Structure 1
Amino acid sequence: MGRTRNSQLEGVIQELGLSQRQLAARFRAVAAEHGATELQSVAQPYIARWIGGAAVEGRAPFILAETLSRGLGRLVTLADIGLAAGTEPEPQSAWSDDTLTMLMRLGSTDMDIDRRRLLATSVYSVSALALPEDDWFARAADRARTRRPLSSRVVTAEDVEDVREMATLFSRRDQRRGGRSGRTALVAYLRTDVAEALSGRFPSEDVRRSMTSAAAELAYLAGWTAFDGREHPLAQRWLTIATQLAEEAGDAPLAGHALRALAHQAVDLGKPREAVRLAEASLASRRYARACWRERSLLGVVHARGLAAAGEKKAAVAALLRAEEDLGKAGNGDDEPPRVFFYTEASLAHETAAALRDLGDLQGAEAQFSRSVKTRGAQFVRTHAVTLGSLGAVQAQQGHLDIACDTWNQALDAMTGVQSGRAREAVVQMRRAVSPFRNRAGTRAAELDARARSMLSQG
């Protein structure tokens, strides 16, 4: 049986106005950004075959859509280029789809091993970071209010309290054990109990908003734990849903919190301009003005990190100072939402250190990472381990390898029992830093490398 020519893909490529050879070159550049080494051989004949109807497999469809989106300056989805069949829903469409439908669909994908692996072959999409117009956010609560109930269940204030208690439980577990610990239970709870509650009937608008806000917080946690597990396409989808739910709840600070997490992810993945834009959206007047001081500081320090990564030193320093001032105005936390119980002086110091490191101030970064280590609470095991890893890295960058090895050994001690992709990445980075010295038997570097290699082998 002959192939059917993909006229949709052909039309979009013609609209772009590049030759197939030029498109292939851009495709390889985008693939390189995402670490898709298996796609570096893509050249003009591939483009011709894809137009002719050949299968586009693995991560290639997502890379192709991303390449075309950037070239045209608008969103190009897999459906637009005739490649949607057999793939998971694209993150780009999330802003136009029904939020509850997206939550249930993504929850099902996250819980299914094979479908989750398929999602893992997709890419972290810069195009998907494009936010809708302000009018979309302004009308979000009205859209949710008029959503037709799917069940006769009446949701109560007690149901809301149950969901909030679970959010606190999962959040504390994430801090102690890492994002990979307990994710299945978290997503299952979202997909079943929480989705059922959102599908029910609400006796009042206050209960609807409260339940939707609680659901948004859990969706945020699903996204953050995926981020910590280095499952970035999955994290991006969950954090988008969290933003939607928060807006539907009229919870502007929580929407800012989710946008801040998307900005954090962007800066960690080397997308500083996108990080700045998302951070600025998180600081929009209504989100910032209604947030508590601790939340304001968290939003501000991530904005500073984006600015630092983008090379905007003066603006970054100013943002860091504002974030420190905001945290200084915070009280003892009694009147603050549970989602920011973890954001303390140690958290500010860690993010400040990361910004200073990106600005090239390694001594300042070392001082702030050290401050974070000294002031971090014992319950925040995962973050403590990651901070120690970062502290060792800046010490090594300054040529203080023996001191760095001592710090990294402390990091490995702290990582015992922690299931975190970020912690694992810190171990990979420390091995890379000591690689020139690993063959010198009996040295601290060689001993550290052996210990780090053993930890990585344990999964």
Structure 2
Amino acid sequence: MDMDPSRRGVLGAGLYSVALTIPGWPDHIGRFERLKADPHTRIGMAEVESVIAMTEKISELDDQFGGRTARPMAAAFMVNNIAPYLKATASGEVRRAMLSAAADHLYPTGYMAVDERLDLLGQSYYTKALELALAAGDHLTYCTTLRGMSVQAVELGHGAPALRYANAAAAASPEAGPRMRAFLAGQQAHALAQTGDRAGALAMLHGAEVAMEQAESKAKAHGSYDPASLSYHVAQVNFELGDREGAIRALQHSEKVRPTMYRRARVRHRAMLAEWQLEAGRLEEAVQSWNLALDDFPQVQSGRADDRIRRMLSATQPHRRNPQVRELLERARPILNLIE
């Protein structure tokens, strides 16, 4: 399917009012259509490459240290470097490449805002990333951003919008390779499961697994979508469909094969695993998983990770007389004082 501005219709049923909540945003980014050239500045592919490299570095910091650490850097680079580049004089090829690089910077910046639990702000970044990707003709970033919006929606329990975004991402992805198909289908499966479509979710998950098998012998991962990410989607689908033990097994496998650089995901998913283990009556295993989450938690600045630790406090309330739980809460007390 061709990507064109009409695809933005999927935003009409958005989760939030898409008010631009970034001070001064229209002055810096929103006028890229009108501010086509600054006669005093000219850019080439070197500037595009610098944006791509900086986005990669900041994204790595986000994975390791969380959105509250990384997003201020991403936002400053956007205002101080990317915005002037978008106004600079450039050839058509360079201009499209810069629009694409800018979109690809805004997408992870939106994810960082979501990680901070600044959900409206995150969606405004995502919406601007879609606009820039459309202007650049960048299918990959356009589809990836729609998928990110689906991830945000499903995490907040909005299954129907999550499915619309995920389906729109898949529909707009032209001739996707196997890893991209797995990347999109895994998210579709999670959203389908949350809307209660068991057969659809399992079929889509099977498609994601087949695509991942095909992809593993080929080029490097698209973004961070790898076997650990697919196992996470298997876990989420199982959880949504009521298979708690299957969810626990899949999430344990995901954590086993997850690359060590993804510290923020490790904290969140280990705490999630603990919640599921406790629901299954496996108190000792839950305490162990929470302790593992606490090992990395002090190095992560993440609103979503904070939420998981708060849930630990409420979930363990009925078990406070258990010695292991008491020890866990004693260990967590300094942390809880910081996030409450």
Structure-2 separation of matches of 1:178 and 1:269: 19
Amino acid at match of 2:323: T
Q: Is the 8 A contact 1:263 1:275 kept in 2?
A: yes
Partner of 2:8: none
Match of 2:189 among 284, 304, 308: 304
Residue 238 of structure 1 corresponds to: 125
RMSD after superposition: 2.4
Structure 2 residue identity aligned to 1:168? E
Return the TM-score normalized by structure 2. 0.88
Q: Which amino acid aligns with 2:143?
A: G
- Is the 8 Å Cα contact of residues 29 and 83 (structure 2) preserved in structure 1? no
**Is the CA contact (8 Å cut-off) linking 1:150 and 1:200 kept in structure 2?**
yes
Write the distance in 2 (CA, Å) between the matches of 1:385 and 1:325: 28
For residues 164-203 of structure 1, the aligned pairs below 5 Å read 164-203=52-91
In 2, the alpha carbon distance for the partners of 1:305 and 1:378 equals: 24
Instruction: Check whether the contact 1:260–1:299 (CA below 8 A) recurs between aligned residues.
Output: yes
CA distance in 2, matches of 1:333, 1:235: 32
Instruction: Name the structure 2 match of 1:276.
Output: 163
What is the alpha-carbon distance in structure 2 between the residues aligned to residue 151 and residue 292 of structure 1?
Answer: 41
1:4-19 aligned within 5 A: none
The counterpart of 2:147, out of the listed 260, 282, 293, is 260
Matched positions, count: 323
Would the aligned equivalents of 1:333 and 1:341 in 2 still touch at CA under 8 Å?
A: no
Aligned: 1:366 with 2:253: no
Read off the aligned partner of 2:158 and give its amino acid letter: K
**Secondary structure of the residue that 1:182 maps to in structure 2?**
helix
1:233-266 residue CA offsets vs partner (Å, 9 max, x unmatched): 1101101111111111111121010011111111
Q: Is the 8 A contact 1:381 1:414 kept in 2?
A: yes
Alpha-carbon separation, structure 1, partners of 2:217 and 2:71: 30
Residues 128-179 of structure 1 show CA distances to partners (whole Å, capped at 9, x for unaligned) of xxxxxxxxxxxxxxx9788632454212000000000001101111111111
Residue 445 (structure 1) shift? 1.4
Structure 2 counterpart of 1:416 = 298
Report if the CA contact (8 A) 1:253-1:290 is conserved: no
Q: 2-side partners of 1:348 and 1:156: how far apart?
A: 38
1:458 counterpart residue number: 338
For the residue of structure 2 that corresponds to 1:342, the secondary structure is coil
Contact 1:102 1:241 in 2 (8 A): no
Q: Which residue of 1 aligns with 2:50?
A: 162
Does the CA-based 8 Å contact 2:20-2:121 persist in structure 1?
no
Cα gap change, 1:454 to 1:219, in 2 (>3 Å) = same
Q: Which has the larger radius of gyration?
A: 1
User: Aligned partners of 2:202 and 2:132: how far apart in 1?
Assistant: 33
Q: Deviations over 1:196-240 (max 9, x none)?
A: 10111222x221221111101110111000111111111011011
Residue aligning to 2:6: none
* 2:59/2:70 contact within 8 Å kept: no
Deviation at 1:277, TM superposition (A): 0.6
Give the Cα separation in 1 of the matches to 2:336 and 2:291.
14
Checking the alignment, whether the CA contact within 8 Å between 1:151 and 1:199 is kept in structure 2 is: no
- The answer to whether the 8 A contact 1:103-1:195 is kept is no
1:410-455 CA deviation, whole Å, 9 max, x = no partner? 11112231111111111111111111122x1x61112222323321
Change (3 A) 1:93 1:417: closer
Are 1:322 and 2:212 counterparts? Answer: no
Distance 1:103 1:444, change over 3 A: farther
TM-score, scaled to structure 1: 0.66
How far did 1:403 drift? 1.0
Identity of aligned residues (%): 32
Change (3 A) 1:93 1:420: closer
CA distance in 2 between counterparts of 1:326 and 1:220 reads 24
Cα separation, 1, equivalents of 2:104 and 2:126: 10
Deviation by residue 1:63-109 (Cα, 9 ceiling, x = unmatched): xxxxxxxxxxx89xxxxxxxxxxxxxx62589xxxxx9648278xxx
Corresponding letter in the other structure for 2:58: F
The amino acid that maps onto 2:57 is L
How far apart, in 2, do the equivalents of 1:409 and 1:380 lie?
17
Unpaired runs of at least 5, structure 2: 1-11
